[in-house]
Chains A and B, each alone.
Chain A
Amino acid sequence: MKQLMIKGGRVIDPARDYDQVADVLIKDGVVEKIAPGQKSPSGAEVIDAEGLIVTPGLIDIHVHLRDPGQEYKEDILSGTRAASAGGFTAVAAMANTEPVGDDPSMINYVLNKASGAAARVYPLGALTKGLEGKEMAELGRMKLAGAAGFSDDGKPVMDGMMMRNALHYASGIGAVVIVHEEDSNLAAGGMMHEGTVSSLLGLRGIPAAAEEAMISRDLMILKITGGRLHIAHVSTAGSVELLRRAKAEGLNVTAEVTPHHLLLTDRLVKNSGYNTNTKVNPPLRTENDRQALWAGLLDGTIDAVASDHAPHHTDDKDVEYDFAPCGIAGLESTLPLLLDEVASGRIKGFTLPLLLEKLSSGPARVLGLPGGSFEDGKAGDVTIIDPEREFIIEPDNWYSRSRNTPFAGKRLKGAPVYTIVGGEITMKEGVVTERAVQG
């Protein structure tokens, strides 16, 4: 019988509105008891969490693990180590692999390789075969194999009828459909947000309308199909407003936002001298959009923060702007970046419990995942945070195989110090432990 006692930390469980100093006892991988002043059972491993934050294991519902097919950028093991180092106990992996994850065998492959990895992996299946937007993938069979949801992420579903059918069909099997909203005609050839900065830089733009038009379309479709729609990486003020109204109308839609869209703007493309680590899709938008995203996060319009961890090898990024692939690797920076926002008090109303909700119960609710909250008898997934810890983003020391981040060198306050999956410590003081990776 294996026991782990986390003593004296401030336990924050946003889903239950629980916020007090208490001890967390995990027994045989599941939460046994949360209460102040517990005695450590003999033989239990004890973590002294005084001055630390103890919270349900954080979940990143939008990552690209590149496995199979592009293991030189990332694979399931390196990606889950990165997740663990970043304080995440679980990730949901997108299906844009090679081959595409559009078949139950691919779901099995991911689950098998991830068993015993440093973080739980929830595979997402492709919505359409080959991500081509033409033919529905076998959503039901993939769901039976363990797919946590379906998405053609990276690609929009341009055919409205295809989207209607997929959303309608998915409603019958109780599956969430995650959409990357971008009208590819309006966005054609775009390298960055269309506006002042793209004008100055002579880079082709992706207008906000490309995202907003597609969100509008899919919200209208959702009205006739029912089902569960989740909007990935919302990036514009207009999108937030559309979602706010849709939620007020009672539509069953959720949304996520990335740390880079919350923290950066298109100005950085210019100020960095066309640094390709600023190239991401959806693109970094304007200050006005950034403010609106924060407002949406604070008022509940946006349900979750997700990294959209999109690892790319330095060789792929170290080229001219147009030639570089889109994406920012975020698993090892997301939590410290946002903890620093809390610590700085720059965003009024952005509290630690709110942040943790957007990284635990929020994302769990979006995908209908088991974790995200402490419940007696549920998996002992825990993230322990030191809110005072100095942290520097150093991609050269990452567990991820990739280093593509515009945040390199940033000094922050606040970092995860323990990640615990099913009662097993997978990360301690920034070091991912061996037993986790042996599986």
Chain B
Amino acid sequence: MQTLRRKDMLGLEEVSAEEINLILETSRSMREIMQRKIKKVPTLRGRSVLNLFYEPSTRTKASFELAQKYMSSDSVSVAGSSSSLVKGETLKDTVRNVEIMGIECVIMRHPVSGSSHYLARNVEASVINAGDGMHEHPTQGLLDMFTIWEKKGRLEELKVAIVGDIRHSRVARSNLWGLQKMGAEVVVSGPPTLMPPDLDAFGVKYYHDLEEAVENADVVMALRLQKERQESGLFPSMREYAELYGVTPKKIARAKEEPLIMHPGPMNRGIEISSELADGPQSVVLEQAASGVAVRMALLYLLLGGTKEQ
């Protein structure tokens, strides 16, 4: 099998459609491993990975750790709160000290945009960005694409509507890049105050009106309303947000028949998505979580595989 000709996975903006294809194809094989009774392959035996999370995470962290276990790599996980960050050590020093112990790959989540770029420049290990500030969350973008691809059989010429806080969302940025590279049409909706200053930079169309945005959409993706990231005053109230921009059956009536309903989690039920949709037959929210493991296994394999004797 091929490998990725790159050291790091920092964002989907800089990844080609061919690379994304390779990751998705590989994820399919990994998905098959996950469905076995004994979910373990020796592929990354003897390889060492560091999970470094400076922000809380349930899904992404669990998913990366499981991917590592299924691939038989050795891994350590360090949380921001327990790390030496609180003792005033710099990110560079922290990672270099662990790297010298034999780490070949660092998976990092960090509240500052660009921190994974900074890290990648300063270590020899491969860096996988597990979310940097408001910038990118490439493995989330990949797992979302994998989920759609599995369900719809393609990404080309699908219409995907992403709804909510695009401005502060690294998930949105990775999806905007990835989906468009794979030939999908992406539109966004949400209050203007939650859009990036220049949406044209991403080449997507913005609709004020959610119902208009989802017209003929194959996929509707609601984003988490990141309360912790909101400067105050970007919208008047949660209930008004729910009423205007919450994804509900009524609001998405003009979408294609049986559109996929997605959410990267964790969900604020009744705010950005109604439980009716989140738990309904069109929802692939749980598949997204499962895809996460497969995609991360694929990425670990493609980044680490072939660099040592295989």
Contact = CB atoms under 8 A, between A and B. Distances in A.
A320 to B, nearest CB: 4
Contacts of B92: 318-319
Contact of A203 (B91, B111, B113, B200): B113
B243 to A, nearest CB: 27
A322 B113 contact: yes
Contacts of B197: 194-196, 198-199, 205, 207
A88 to B, nearest CB: 33
B117 A273 contact: yes
Contacts of B200: 196
A202 interface: yes
Given A189-B231, A196-B201, A202 B117 contact: no
Q: What is the interface of chain A mostly: helix, strand, loop, or mixed?
A: loop
B206 to A, nearest CB: 12
B110 A320 contact: yes
Interface stretch (B38-46, B131-139, B285-293): B131-139
Nearest to A203: B113
Contact of B231 (A188, A194, A323): A188
B93 to A, nearest CB: 10
A259 B111 CA distance: 32
B254 interface: no
Interface residues of B, number: 28
A199 B121 contact: no
A191 B196 CA distance: 15
Contact of B201 (A199, A273, A274, A318): A199
Q: How large is the interface on A (under 10, 10 to 19, 20 to 34, 35 or more residues)?
A: 20 to 34
B208 to A, nearest CB: 18
B115 interface: yes
A200 B111 CA distance: 16
Contacts of B202: 199-200
Contacts of B13: 200
A195 B173 CA distance: 15
Interface string B224-264: 00000001000000000000000000000000000000000
A339 B144 CA distance: 52
Contacts of A201: 113-114, 135
Interface string A171-207: 0000000000000000011010011111111111101
Contacts of A202: 113-114, 132-136, 170, 173
Interface in B74-119: 90-92, 110-115, 117-118
7 contacts: A197-B201, A199-B198, A200-B13, A203-B135, A273-B114, A320-B110, A322-B113
Interface of B: 13, 90-92, 110-115, 117-118, 121, 132-136, 170, 173, 196-202, 231
Interface of A: 188-189, 191, 194-205, 207, 273-274, 318-323
Given A198-B197, A273-B117, 6 more contacts: A199-B201, A201-B135, A202-B113, A274-B118, A321-B113, A321-B118
